Amino acid sequence: MFELAKQRLDPVFKHIQVDDEVIERLSVAKRSIIASIPVRMDNGDLKIFTGYRVQYDDTRGPTKGGIRYHPRVNLDEVTSLSFWMTVKCAVSGLPFGGAKGGVMVNPKELSKLELERLSRGYIRAFADVIGESRDIPAPDVYTNSTIMGWMADEYGVILRRQVPGMITGKPVYLGGSEGRESATGQGALFALNEFVRRKNWDPSAITIAVQGFGNVGYHFARLAQKSGYRIVAVSDSQGGIHSPKGLNVEDVYKFKQQNNELASVYCEGSVCNTLEYEQITNEELLLLNIDVLVLGALENQITQLNANDIKVKTILEIANGPVTPQADEILEENGVNVIPDVLANSGGVIVSYFEWVQNRSGLYWDVTEVHEKLKKIMSKEANTVYDLALSHNCSLRTAAYIHGIKRLAGAIDERGNRKYFKSI
């Protein structure tokens, strides 16, 4: 997976010249740590979990990146995600490098008490290499604000003082930022809005399908529907639903929370009535004939095996790495615009940056101010990427990487390179 991630750089260097040392520095992670995390289970047994933290590059500032709990977490995956975070923070202009962490575990098999012990154990394992000026974690797949709160508390116990800025995505009552829960979905919508505006499209005429109807996918779909877009399909790990007339996003999510299944419903209070819809698989959702496909699940959803079957002309990546490099080439040849993950899903890390700033300054903003600041950054960076795609006659992904790599290369060069020292 990491080798695939690094392939994203190949097209970039056809458009811009950077010093060889930049390529060398960005080809490897600065630090990779694997730790054993012992957890006392509720039945008294001791179980050992494997935890990871990769700090890829800190040239532009302390590293930043989420912690995911998933059975398939491994060093290769975490390294790839930390590489993407490095580029993403640079694309957004944030004073951060990139990092990522994770634990190989199925959190659904743990009780809440076991989950808390695991989360506190993760911080004990990595406390020496994280901190508000060194490496700032955040939520990711199957982690949430409650888990971030436990982690912040454990870090405070170890240091004997409160350090809220050491982690972001915390509950608001524990120093979290207003607007953080919906930030990734909101940021993705801002990126899509700028693309739609430049194309002179009417949002009310645009149909959208969302793969991955979890927290991020739900907030994107909810906000997009509120902005006039028509959400016609959503899916989760169990499958999906499709209704050409459109879905009531908030009612569908409410029904899912109550019944653990997806259905097209209309709710009045606690009573939900089922509407006409079609059950589809995740694979079928990808092949729908709609306007915008939103990928908000896991990596490698569109590959060279199914890329030629994609009917949409615009893909919005909210998940990390849902389209492989080989699929990218096919999609580009077929005229499909992919608004890439390193731009589209950066709303989460941007508002995490806001939380970090608020924690360190002691000044807190309301949700309106957070959204205004998020929109300003997302709109600015999205338009820069869209302009670069036009000026370099390249894909949106390549344009985003050009934007981020220019900032990274500048920071690396300013620290001194071969050309500088040879001229002395």
From first to last of the 424 residues of the chain, give the pLDDT tens digit. Answer: 777 777 788 888 888 888 888 888 888 999 999 999 999 999 999 999 999 999 999 999 999 999 999 999 999 999 999 999 999 999 999 999 999 999 999 999 999 999 999 999 999 999 999 999 999 999 998 999 999 999 999 999 999 999 999 999 999 999 999 999 899 999 999 999 999 999 999 999 999 999 999 889 999 999 999 999 999 999 998 899 999 999 999 999 998 988 888 988 888 877 788 888 899 999 999 999 999 999 998 888 999 999 999 999 999 999 988 999 999 999 999 999 999 999 999 999 999 999 999 999 999 999 999 999 999 999 999 999 999 999 999 999 999 999 999 999 999 888 877 777 776 5
84 in any annotated domain: yes
The confidence score (pLDDT) of residue 273 equals 86
Strand pairing category for 135-139 and 63-70:
parallel
401 in any annotated domain: no
For residues 162 and 156, what is the distance between their CA atoms, to the nearest angstrom?
5
E strand or H helix at 187, and its extent? helix 183-199
First to last CA, the chain: 41
Closest CA to 345 of 92, 97, 73: 92
Q: Half-sphere exposure of residue 364, counting CA atoms within 13 Å on the CB side?
A: 14
The confidence score (pLDDT) of residue 423 equals 66
Six token digits for residue 140: 């990711």
The confidence score (pLDDT) of residue 23 equals 86
For residues 150 and 112, what is the distance between their CA atoms, to the nearest angstrom?
12
Q: What is the length of the chain?
A: 424
356 in any annotated domain: no
For residues 321 and 312, what is the distance between their CA atoms, to the nearest angstrom?
18
C-beta of residue 58 within 8 angstroms of C-beta of residue 79: no
The confidence score (pLDDT) of residue 163 equals 96
For residues 129 and 35, what is the distance between their CA atoms, to the nearest angstrom?
12
Six token digits for residue 150: 């436990």
* Catalytic positions: 100
The confidence score (pLDDT) of residue 9 equals 81
193 in any annotated domain: no
- Cβ neighbours of residue 194 under 8 Å, at least 6 residues apart? 378, 379, 382, 383, 386
Identify residue 131 by its one-letter amino acid code: G
The confidence score (pLDDT) of residue 36 equals 98
Strand pairing category for 46-57 and 63-70:
unpaired
The confidence score (pLDDT) of residue 424 equals 59
277 in any annotated domain: no
Six token digits for residue 42: 């509720």
- Cβ neighbours of residue 348 under 8 Å, at least 6 residues apart? 138, 180, 183, 184, 187, 216
For residues 334 and 326, what is the distance between their CA atoms, to the nearest angstrom?
13
Number of domains in the chain: 1
CATH of the domain at 51: 3.40.50.10860
For residues 15 and 93, what is the distance between their CA atoms, to the nearest angstrom?
20
The confidence score (pLDDT) of residue 311 equals 95
Tokens 């458009």 identify what position? 15
Six token digits for residue 371: 């959204």
55 in any annotated domain: yes
Residue range of the domain that includes 156: 29-174
73 in any annotated domain: yes
Strands (DSSP E) contained in 250-388 are: 265-268, 271-274, 278-280, 292-295, 314-317, 337-339
Strand pairing category for 278-280 and 239-242:
antiparallel
C-beta of residue 74 within 8 angstroms of C-beta of residue 53: no
Six token digits for residue 230: 């028509």
- Note the Cα 241 to chain centre separation in Å: 24
188 in any annotated domain: no
